[in-house]
């Protein structure tokens, strides 16, 4: 079986370095905070070309704390894409604010900037573009709108480690970026982890306080904070794994190149990559007719595929009553037909060739166009 992802292989390839990092952490005597946390925060800020990085417990908290640090809460609205992982919406709801969905584009599968305007009200405070599957959003258009309406742009970059926009880090195009280091992400810990990068020092120290009981000085509490910190042992693992991120991105891109060539011959839609974007290929997603059948056929050929994501946030139990009026045809179309092929540094070229041959042999069909 070709697994969708093989984290055991990816981490065991550098097992001795990870063991050394863990051993150093045990020896250090710091188990919260300390030098390996600040070391990774510095390295990640540098990689992202940002001035500040604040480690937090996970990607959801990275989004939620960013909104809280900006004072976003009850009576506020935040623009989110109709098709994304549920965390983007939950972060807004958990602040007491309202997620306002905007449909995605059918070519890039990303937030459609041309549909944002009609969703802005006097309560809109921020927009969360999600660089979905690793493809940067149309940040120029989004930033122009944000500037005109005085909105904060908080990017959900949880799938976009290493993505580039206009040849520089996507982080340069938002007020802040929320990162997840969940094990399966392009840069993942051996547990939960997250971070926020930004150029605003006051915002960064607010985040630090919010994730640390509202405190920057022991027993002095200035904010209604929570406990959401990046463990130093995870930070040490991340610093270790960061050395391989660019090599892994190159593998992801070469796998994606092979898939793209193959799918083109079958006219199967994939994300359109605008010329000013470099895709980080956290996921490789195509649109197929009769997805369940395609998934089964691929499985019978020993290829494990997944779906990201089969149910829109607005159709989930927690949201579906409130959002029954929202019509998000493109988001619905993509979530109905999307299929994710295996991608990552665990794959070798023989496996990728087998997957391409199988796709051709199965003669998978594109979905009927959205009428
Ligand atoms: C993974 C992910 C998150 C949440 O990250 P966690 O670390 O699991 O909390 C948020 N948004 C998107 C788009 C993600 O893929």
Query: Could you tell me the domains of the chain?
Result: 9-242 (3.40.640.10), 245-362 (3.90.1150.10)
Enter the tokens of residue 358: 């199988």
| Whole-angstrom distance, CA of residue 284 vs CA of residue 168 | 22
User: Scanning the structure block, which residue is given the tokens 């280091």?
Assistant: 181
Per-position DSSP letters for 253-314, written without gaps between them = HHHHHHHHHHHHHTT--B----TTEE---S-EEEE-SSHHHHHHHHHHTTB--B-S-SS-GG
**pLDDT, averaged in runs of 10, over the chain (371 residues):** 97 98 97 97 98 98 98 98 98 98 98 98 98 98 98 98 97 97 98 98 98 96 96 98 98 98 98 98 98 98 98 98 96 98 97 98 95 79
The pick from 85, 90, 229 for probing ligand 1's pocket by mutation, whose C-beta has the most ligand atoms within 8 angstroms, reads 85
C-alpha 301 to ligand 1 mean position (Å) = 30
Nearest partner of 137 among 117, 123, 119, 153, judged by Cα:
153
Nearest partner of 61 among 235, 231, 195, 232, judged by Cα:
195
| Whole-angstrom distance, CA of residue 245 vs CA of residue 345 | 10
From the alpha carbon of 63, which atom of ligand 1 is closest?
Answer: 10
Q: Is the CB of 159 under 6 A from ligand 1?
A: yes
Q: Is the CB of 194 under 6 A from ligand 1?
A: yes
Give the per-residue pLDDT at 129.
98
Give the per-residue pLDDT at 371.
79
| Whole-angstrom distance, CA of residue 182 vs CA of residue 297 | 30
C-alpha 9 to ligand 1 mean position (Å) = 22
| Whole-angstrom distance, CA of residue 305 vs CA of residue 267 | 19
From the alpha carbon of 91, which atom of ligand 1 is closest?
Answer: 10
Within 10 Å of residue 145's Cβ, how many Cβ atoms? 17
C-alpha 237 to ligand 1 mean position (Å) = 19
**pTM to 2 decimals?**
0.98
Q: Is the CB of 80 under 6 A from ligand 1?
A: no
| Whole-angstrom distance, CA of residue 92 vs CA of residue 159 | 18
- Going by alpha carbons, the residue nearest to atom 7 of ligand 1 is 59
Give the per-residue pLDDT at 295.
98
Under a CB-based contact definition with an 8 Å cutoff, are residues 77 and 125 in contact? yes
| Whole-angstrom distance, CA of residue 80 vs CA of residue 140 | 17
State the pairing for strand pair 124-127/152-156: parallel
C-alpha 59 to ligand 1 mean position (Å) = 5
The pick from 93, 155, 156 for probing ligand 1's pocket by mutation, whose C-beta has the most ligand atoms within 8 angstroms, reads 156
Question: Cα dist. 38→30, 44, 229, 239, 270 in Å?
Answer: 12, 10, 12, 10, 39
From the alpha carbon of 62, which atom of ligand 1 is closest?
Answer: 9
DSSP run (H or E) holding 53: strand 52-56
The pick from 67, 181, 182 for probing ligand 1's pocket by mutation, whose C-beta has the most ligand atoms within 8 angstroms, reads 182
| Whole-angstrom distance, CA of residue 143 vs CA of residue 155 | 11
DSSP structure class, residue 117: G
Alpha helices (H) along the chain: 7-12, 15-28, 35-48, 59-69, 87-94, 139-149, 201-210, 232-242, 245-265, 291-300, 329-337, 349-362
| Whole-angstrom distance, CA of residue 280 vs CA of residue 287 | 19
C-alpha 186 to ligand 1 mean position (Å) = 12
Q: Is the CB of 135 under 6 A from ligand 1?
A: no
The CA-to-CA distance between both ends of the chain, in Å, stands at 37
Q: Is the CB of 41 under 6 A from ligand 1?
A: no
User: Scanning the structure block, which residue is given the tokens 């930004």?
Assistant: 198
| Whole-angstrom distance, CA of residue 313 vs CA of residue 21 | 38
| Whole-angstrom distance, CA of residue 6 vs CA of residue 96 | 37
| Whole-angstrom distance, CA of residue 28 vs CA of residue 13 | 25
C-alpha 277 to ligand 1 mean position (Å) = 21
| Whole-angstrom distance, CA of residue 115 vs CA of residue 9 | 42
Question: Cα dist. 185→5, 58, 130, 170, 171 in Å?
Answer: 10, 12, 14, 16, 17
C-alpha 187 to ligand 1 mean position (Å) = 12
C-alpha 61 to ligand 1 mean position (Å) = 9
State the pairing for strand pair 77-81/124-127: parallel
Region at 37 (left for phi over 0; alpha for psi -120 to 50; beta for the rest): alpha
Q: Is the CB of 84 under 6 A from ligand 1?
A: yes
Give the per-residue pLDDT at 247.
98
């Amino acid at each position: 079986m070709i697994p969708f992802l093989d984290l055991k292989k990816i981490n065991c390839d550098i097992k001795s370095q990870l063991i050394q990092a863990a051993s150093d952490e045990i020896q250090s005597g710091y188990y919260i905070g300390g030098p390996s946390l600040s070391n990774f925060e510095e390295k990640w800020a540098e990689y992202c070309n940002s001035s500040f990085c604040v480690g937090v417990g996970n990607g959801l908290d990275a989004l939620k704390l960013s909104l809280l640090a900006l004072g976003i809460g009850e009576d506020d609205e935040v623009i989110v894409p109709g098709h994304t992982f549920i965390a983007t919406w939950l972060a807004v709801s958990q602040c007491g604010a309202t997620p306002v969905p905007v449909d995605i584009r059918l070519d890039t599968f990303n937030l459609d900037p041309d549909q944002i305007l009609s969703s802005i009200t006097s309560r809109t405070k921020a927009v969360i573009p999600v660089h979905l599957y690793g493809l940067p959003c149309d940040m120029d258009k989004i930033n122009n709108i944000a500037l005109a309406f005085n909105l904060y742009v908080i990017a959900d970059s949880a799938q976009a480690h290493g993505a580039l926009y206009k040849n520089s880090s996507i982080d340069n195009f938002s007020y802040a970026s929320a990162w997840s280091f969940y094990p399966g992400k392009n840069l993942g810990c051996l547990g939960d982890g997250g971070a926020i990068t930004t150029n605003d020092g006051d915002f960064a120290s607010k985040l630090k306080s919010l994730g640390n009981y509202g405190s920057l000085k022991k027993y002095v509490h200035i904010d209604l904070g929570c406990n959401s910190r990046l463990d130093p042992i995870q930070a040490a693992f991340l610093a270790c794994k960061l050395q391989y991120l660019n090599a892994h991105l190159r593998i992801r891109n070469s796998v994606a190149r092979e898939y793209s060539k193959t799918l083109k011959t079958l006219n199967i839609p994939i994300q359109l990559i605008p010329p000013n974007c470099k895709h980080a290929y956290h996921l490789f997603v195509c649109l197929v007719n009769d997805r369940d059948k395609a998934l089964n056929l691929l499985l019978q050929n020993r290829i494990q595929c997944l779906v990201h994501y089969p149910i829109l946030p607005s159709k989930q139990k927690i949201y579906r009553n409130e959002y029954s009026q929202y019509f998000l045809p493109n988001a619905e179309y993509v979530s109905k037909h999307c299929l994710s092929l295996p991608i990552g540094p665990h794959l070798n070229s023989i496996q990728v060739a087998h997957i391409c041959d199988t796709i051709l042999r199965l003669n998978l069909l594109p979905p009927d166009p959205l009428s």
